[in-house]
Amino acid sequence: MGVGIKVDKLNAWFGKTQALYDITMDAPANHATAIIGPSGCGKSTFVRCLNRMHETVPDARAAGRVQIGELDVYNGTSAVQIRRRIGMVFQKPNPFPTMSIYDNVAAGLKLNGFHDHKRLDEIVERSLKLSALWDEVKDSLRKKSGASLSGGQQQRLCIARALAVEPQVLLMDEPCSALDPISTGKIEELIFQLKEKFTIVIVTHNMQQASRVAEFTGFFLLGKLIELDKTEKIFTTPSDKRTEDYITGRFG
Amino acid sequence: MPETVTATADFAAAPISLWRRGMNSFATFAAAVSVILVLLPLGAVFGYLVYKGIGSINWAFLTQTPKPVGEAGGGMANAIAGSAFILLIASVIGVPIGIGAGIYLAEYGRNQLGNIIRFTADVLNGVPSIVIGIVAYGIVVLSQGHFSALAGGVALAIMMIPTITRTTEEMLLLVPNAVREAAYGLGVSRWRTTLSITLRTATSGVITGVMLAFARVAGETAPLLFTAFGNQYWNWKINQPTAALSLQIFTYAISPFDEWHRQAWAGALILIVLIVVAVSAVRLVAGRGMLKGAN
């Protein structure tokens, strides 16, 4: 089951440049929340703050309160522990190039010291089925490298890899921007099914995609959250002028 | 813009000028000549070694120790084994330190200390090998009171370290950051990511660096002169003077005896063949188990 995300006064910096200003928002459990906005508005930085990936960049830091279910992200728990509970899918598919398909999916568990082979087999199969890749790769699980798959398959492999550690939340940072329309369609379908089990936050440049997959949409501009509402309302009757300008294509 | 389209079509349809075709052939030819010029010295050296050395290689040469001057026969078996022994010691010391330093430089070394280490490694790479021999003499031989295989191994290890360090660093930096982030995103700690993901992804490059360093020191003579010292008999003790192929070649080559000259040629041939065999074997073993489609 997914858990809700509560963000309160989140600020983030790269060195001396502030990238996020006082972001306060909720993403409800078992729903998809889309984050839209022009390039450089802080969308990616925002999701990277949710699992503390932001601080892996030299000189980057973040302050504020992020609550994922019962977990207080910036208080008391180590970043490594946090990331085990939160799955992340990146913009460009990034399978581990030297690992087989099987090892890619099992990587999160194996590298954290989980070596029960029977359980691993089950988890790998279940994760690949969840990410709708099982039928395409089940005959070459251990023979082929993750890097030998097509771009769309690689991205679904990365989703399977994120799901294998059984996270409660799945963060997706423009997961379809490097994919063709058919692969994009498959991943969107997948997001629909995954909502039953996980809470999803998805960054996207594609407004149609936001309206297709997400119940809620937040609009970011220059590091600030302009508004967050039901997706329908954002795209039909936004309450802020700037949101309207953006979605009608007047800037951005 | 229809004008542009027409212009492109004209451009594509135009015949390729004689000048361009000539330049193309010339560039191809120049590249081919360069390749030959690079391969020629290697081929010449190897060919001459085979010509001079093959006649003296026989079973006795590979299995016996040297005979006293004046007696025919004898071989360099103890020197072949000694070289392997010293190189093993050098690798055991040099490879972990070199790879470890390379990991530090690539993953943590974006700072002043990293710059100092980088500079030091580059300078160390340029230090004449005889000077490194003196250093090992000072550290190991003087403190132990006698020449030893260990001293030779230490000297060669010091020579291997900078090469391994710098190539390891470069190979790790070639691993895209996205791969590291993928591991961080799964909740894998930083040291685990470095060892199991980054280093593993760069394995083939790192091995190339190690083998380059290995091949370079395998034929070194100067740093062994007053460390391993040489030995006319078998030695398997790390604390005793040990024969090495390069030392034996040196001793035989400057001797006044024809029989020894012939053996020196044969020893040089064996040395080159063994280096090629060792490097190829490591590549083969490391290349096995690579997956289809992996780089």
A169 contact partners, CB below 8 Å, separation of at least 6: A2, A3, A5, A50, A51, A68, A85, A86, A87, A198, A199, A200, A201
Q: How far is CA B101 from the centre of its chain?
A: 18
Neighbours of B258 (CB within 10 A): 8
Look at residue B238 in the predicted model and tell me its pLDDT: 86
When CB atoms are compared, the residue of B176, B179, B186 closest to A165 is B186
When CB atoms are compared, the residue of A84, A144, A148 closest to B187 is A84
Q: What residues in B contact A84, CB-CB < 8 Å?
A: 186-187
C-beta atoms of A53 and B196 within 8 A: no
Q: Identify whether the C-beta of residue A225 lies closer than 8 Å to the C-beta of residue A23.
A: yes
When CB atoms are compared, the residue of B181, B193, B196 closest to A94 is B181
Look at residue A197 in the predicted model and tell me its pLDDT: 86
C-beta atoms of A83 and B183 within 8 A: no
When CB atoms are compared, the residue of B178, B181, B187 closest to A112 is B187
C-beta atoms of A83 and B179 within 8 A: no
Q: At what angle do helices B149-174 and B203-218 cross, to 10 degrees?
A: 150
Q: What residues in B contact A145, CB-CB < 8 Å?
A: 291-294
Look at residue B34 in the predicted model and tell me its pLDDT: 97
Per-domain residue ranges of chain A: 5-96+166-247
Look at residue A69 in the predicted model and tell me its pLDDT: 85
Q: Which of B175, B179, B186, B207 to mutate to test the interface with A (most CBs of A within 10 A)?
A: B186
Q: From the CA of A232, how many Å to the nearest CA of chain B? A: 31
A39 compared with B287, residue with greater pLDDT? A39
- How big is the A-B interface in CB pairs under 8 Å? 91
Which CATH code of 1.10.10.10, 3.50.50.60, 3.40.50.300, 3.40.50.2300 fits the domain covering A5-96+166-247? 3.40.50.300
Look at residue B68 in the predicted model and tell me its pLDDT: 82
Q: What residues in B contact A58, CB-CB < 8 Å?
A: 110
Q: Which chain A residue shows the shortest CA-CA distance from B287?
A: A98
Give the pLDDT confidence of B60-70 residue by residue, as tens digits.
Answer: 888 888 888 77
In 3D space, the residue among B275, B270, B243, B271 whose CA is nearest the CA of residue B66 turns out to be B243
Q: Which of B107, B171, B200, B291 to mutate to test the interface with A (most CBs of A within 10 A)?
A: B291
Look at residue B292 in the predicted model and tell me its pLDDT: 46
d(CA A22, CA A45): 13
pLDDT mean values, one per 10 residues, chain A (252 residues): 85 92 91 91 92 90 89 85 90 91 92 88 92 88 88 91 90 87 86 88 90 92 91 89 85 58
d(CA A79, CA B187): 8
Provide the chain B residues 184-223 that lie in CB contact (below 8 A) with chain A: 184-189, 192-193, 196-197, 200-201, 203
When CB atoms are compared, the residue of A81, A90, A144 closest to B182 is A90
Phi then psi for residue A87, to 5 deg, are -80, 150
Q: Which chain B residue shows the shortest CA-CA distance from A85?
A: B187
Residue B97 confidence class, pLDDT cut points 50, 70, 90: very high
d(CA B75, CA B267): 9
When CB atoms are compared, the residue of A83, A96, A108 closest to B201 is A96
Look at residue B24 in the predicted model and tell me its pLDDT: 94
Q: From the CA of B107, how many Å to the nearest CA of chain A? A: 12
C-beta atoms of B292 and A144 within 8 A: yes
Radius of gyration (C-alpha) of chain A in whole angstroms = 18
Q: What residues in B contact A94, CB-CB < 8 Å?
A: 176, 178-179, 181-182
Look at residue B231 in the predicted model and tell me its pLDDT: 86
Look at residue A12 in the predicted model and tell me its pLDDT: 93
pLDDT of B295 > 70? The answer is no
Look at residue B161 in the predicted model and tell me its pLDDT: 96
pLDDT of B10 > 70? The answer is no
C-beta atoms of A162 and B185 within 8 A: yes
Tell me the range of A144-148, B85-89, B281-285 where mean pLDDT is highest: B85-89
pTM recorded for the entire structure: 0.83
The pLDDT of B162-188, averaged and rounded, is 93
In 3D space, the residue among B91, B106, B97, B95 whose CA is nearest the CA of residue B199 turns out to be B106
Look at residue A132 in the predicted model and tell me its pLDDT: 84
Q: From the CA of B187, how many Å to the nearest CA of chain A? A: 4
C-beta atoms of A97 and B188 within 8 A: no
Q: From the CA of B116, how many Å to the nearest CA of chain A? A: 20
Query: What CATH number does the domain located at B81-287 have?
Result: 1.10.3720.10
d(CA B133, CA B95): 19
Look at residue A112 in the predicted model and tell me its pLDDT: 86
